[in-house]
Amino acid sequence: MKPAGIATGSDALDHILAGGYAKGRVHLLEGRPGSGKTTLAMQFLMAARDRGEGALYVSLSEGRDELLDSAATHGWSLEGIDIYELIPPELSLDPSQQQSIIYSSDLELGETVQLVMDHVQRGKPSCVVFDSLSDIRLLAGNSLRYRRQVLALKHFFSGLGCTTIFVDDLTEEMDDANLHSLVHGVIRLETTPVVYGSNRRRLQVFKMRGRPFRDGSHDYIIRTGGVEVFRRLIANEHVEGFVERPPAESGIESLDSLFGGGIDRGTSTLIMGPAGSGKSTLAMQYLIKALERGESALFISFDETRRNFFRRAAGLSMDFAQHGDRFRFLQIDPAELSPGELSSLIRHQVEMEDKSAVVLDSLSGYQNSMPAEQFMLLQMHELLTYLNQQGVITFLILAQHGLVGQMQSQVDLTYLSDSVLLLRFFEAFGELKRALSVVKKRTGGHEASIREYQITPEGVRVGDPLRTFSGVLTGVPTFVGGSGELLNTL
C-alpha cells in the first residue's frame, strides 16, 4: 500500500515529491552547513503543528535558544513544537549525570540514543526531526557502528509510526557509510558559489520509494519567511488549451504587413539587432496596442530601470501607467535571481494575472543568470514551449555586437523562435537610417521586403519597401536609390 503524503511545509517541494514525505517513513535531508536544512526541517514541523499533530525537534548540536532565534529571523514562532536539546552526560552540569571516569565511545553512543528514545516514547510525536547524524557519526567512532546505529534508529521511529527526517551536514562523507539505502527518501540541498552575485542553491531528490517524484535540479532560495523552492519547469506538463484569437497587431499597418497580417498567438518572436536600433521600442509598440485592446502584458527588464523605462515610453507617446495592473514592469538583477525563480515568476504572471504578452529584455542579461550557455538554451526551450502552450505572445530581445558591418550574437536562439525580426543601421545621404525585415515566420507567410523605420516622439513609423536597398543579410547594408524613397525626417 502506498504511504500517505505528509506536507513538507513547501508547496513546491510537495509537488516535486509527488505528495510530500511518506507517512511513517524515515527520510534523509542532507547538505553542507548553511544550505538551509534546519530551516526546511522547521517548516516541516510547523506544518505538522498547524495540522494539530505532535512535532518534535531533537537537536544534538544547536541549543534551544539558537533554534528559537533562527525561527524568529523568519518571523516564526515554534510554540507547540517540542524542542529536545540533547546534552551528552559528560557535558551536563547536572551532578547526577556526571561520572568520575572517562566515558568510552560505546557508553556515550548508547546513552545518547537511549535519551532520544525515552523522550520520543514519552511524547509520542507523529513528526520528528533528528538533527544531526554527524553527531552520531562522531560518537560511533567507525562506519560500521554508525550504520548499524542509524538503522536501529530508523526501525525505532518507523515502529512508532513517526514521519521522520534525519538531517546530515555532510561534513565527513564516507562511501561505506552511505545511508541512502537505509532510508525511504533522500533530498540533498546544494550551494554553488559564483564569481559575482548570490550563490546558486539547488535541491535534488535522489530517492523516494514508490513515488514518481520529479528528479533533476530545482532552484531554491533562503529568504525571510523560509526556504522557497522553485520546481523545474517541464512544458509538457502544461497542455495546450487556449482559445484561438486573431493575430496580434502592432497598430502600424506597414509593420503588420511584414508579418503577414500580425503575430500569431502562442508564438515567440526574436527581435535582434545592434544597440540603439529600436528593439525594445518595437516590442513596446506591440504591448501598448495589446493593452489598448484590453489585454494584459508583462515587461521583464534585465538592463533598464523602471524609471528610465516609463520616461522613455512617455517620450514615444506610450502611456503604460494608465493601464494599471494590466501592465506589469519587473526590473530583474541577473546577479541575484536564479533561473528557476525567474521561470516561477513568469508562470505566476501568466497563470494568476492572465498576461497575454511577455517581453524578455534582453537575452544577454538572461544569459548572465545561467551557469552555462547550453543550460540557457535548454531552459529557454522549456520556457518558450510553456508560454506558447498558454497562448502567450513572447518577445525576446537580443543585442548583437557592433553597430554596422558584420554582426555577432553571444547566443543563437533563431532556431527556437517562431519569428525573427532583424534590425539594421544603414547610411544614406550623410544620415544614419534604420531598416527592418522579417527573416522567419514559422506559422505562416510573411513579407520578404526590407523597410525603413523611424523612432519619433509620436512613436514608430515604418515606410514602404526599399526596393533598391541591398546587402542587409551580408551585414553591410547599402542604399543605392533616390532620396524620395526614404522617410522624411520629422
Say if residue 102's pLDDT is above 60: no
Q: Which pLDDT value is given to residue 201?
A: 93
Q: How far apart are CA 166 and CA 314, in angstroms?
A: 57
User: How far apart are alpha carbons 418 and 207 in whole angstroms?
Assistant: 38
- CB 443 within 8 Å of CB 267: yes
Highest mean pLDDT among 61-70, 230-239, 474-483: 61-70
Where is average pLDDT lowest: 53-57, 80-84, 127-131, 176-180? 176-180
Span 313-329, pLDDT tens digits: 999 999 999 999 999 99
Cis peptide before 132 (omega within 30 of 0): yes
Q: Percent of the chain, pLDDT > 70?
A: 86
CA separation for the pair 394, 265 (Å, rounded): 9
In the predicted model, what is the mean pLDDT of residues 58-79? 92
Give dist(CA 243, CA 265) in Å, integer: 10
Residue 436 near residue 424 (C-beta atoms within 8 A)? yes
pLDDT at 205: 96
Given a cut of 50, is residue 55 above it in pLDDT?
Answer: yes
**Is 267 within 8 Å of 240 (Cβ atoms)?**
no
237: CB partners within 8 A, 6+ apart: none
**What is the number of residues in the chain?**
490
Burial class (CB in 10 A: 0-12, 13-18, 19+), 286: buried
What gap in Å lies between CA 331 and CA 279, rounded to an integer? Answer: 17
How large is the average pLDDT for residues 162-175?
Answer: 82
The lowest-confidence range among 4-8, 153-157, 375-379 is: 375-379
Confidence of residue 408 (pLDDT cuts 50, 70, 90): low
d(CA 132, CA 58) in angstroms, rounded, equals 8
> What pLDDT shows up at residue 97?
45
Mean pLDDT of 182-189: 95
Rounded CA-CA distance 435/465 in Å is: 10
**pLDDT number for residue 249:** 95
- State the chain's maximal CA–CA distance in angstroms: 105
Q: Is the backbone peptide bond immediately before 338 cis, with ω within 30 degrees of 0? A: no
Per-residue model confidence as pLDDT tens digits over 235-293: 888 776 667 889 999 999 999 999 999 999 999 999 998 888 999 999 999 999 999 99
Nearest-angstrom CA–CA distance, 484 and 248:
31
Q: Residue 158: its pLDDT value, please? A: 94
Strand partners, 128: 56, 164
CA gap 31, 163 in Å, rounded: 20
Question: What is the model's pLDDT at position 132?
Answer: 87
Residue 484 φ/ψ, nearest 5 degrees:
-70, -15
- Which set of grid coordinates corresponds to residue 289? 496596442
Give me the torsion for CA of 447, 449, 455, 457, rounded to 10°: -60
In the chain the domains, ranked by start, together with CATH numbers, are 5-232 (3.40.50.300), 237-479 (3.40.50.300)
The residue ranking higher by pLDDT, 20 or 4, is 20
Where do the H-state alpha helices sit in 165-263?
253-258
Residue range 361-367: mean pLDDT, rounded: 79
Higher pLDDT, 359 or 426: 359
Q: Give the lowest-confidence range in 205-219, 289-303, 396-410.
A: 396-410
- The answer, yes or no, to whether residue 107 has pLDDT greater than 50, is no
DSSP, collapsed to helix, strand or coil, labels residue 437 as strand
Q: What is the pLDDT of residue 104?
A: 36
* Per-residue pLDDT at 391: 92
Between these two residues, 90 and 401, which has the higher pLDDT value?
401
Query: Percent of the chain beyond pLDDT 90?
Result: 59
pLDDT surpasses 90 at 126: yes
C-alpha cell at 125: 510525536
User: Chain-wide mean pLDDT for the chain?
Assistant: 86
pLDDT higher than threshold 50 for residue 98: no
* Cβ-contact 230, 218 below 8 angstroms: yes
Give 350's pLDDT tier (boundaries 50, 70, 90): very high
Q: How many CA atoms lie within 13 A of 289 on its CB side?
A: 20
Q: Is 69 helix (H, G, I), strand (E, B) or coil?
A: helix
Q: What are residue 217's DSSP bridge partners?
A: 204
Q: How high is the pLDDT of residue 379? A: 86
Work out the pLDDT band at 303, boundaries 50, 70, 90: confident
pLDDT at 333: 86
- pLDDT value at residue 106: 46
| Position 94 pLDDT exceeds 90 | no
pLDDT at 439: 92
What local confidence, expressed as pLDDT, does residue 105 receive?
Answer: 42
124-150 burial, b for 16+ CB within 10 Å, e for fewer?
ebbbbbbbbbbbbbebbeeeebbbebb
Burial profile 11-38: b = 16 or more Cβ within 10 angstroms, e = fewer:
ebbbbbbebbbbbbbbbbbbbeeebbbb
What pLDDT, on a 0 to 100 scale, did the predictor assign at position 337? 83
| pTM to 2 decimal places | 0.85
**425 band by pLDDT with thresholds 50, 70 and 90:** confident
- First-to-last CA distance in the chain? 76
Q: What is the model's pLDDT at position 402?
A: 63
* Higher-pLDDT residue of 241, 337: 337
pLDDT over threshold 60, residue 114: yes
Q: Is the pLDDT of residue 371 over 80?
A: no
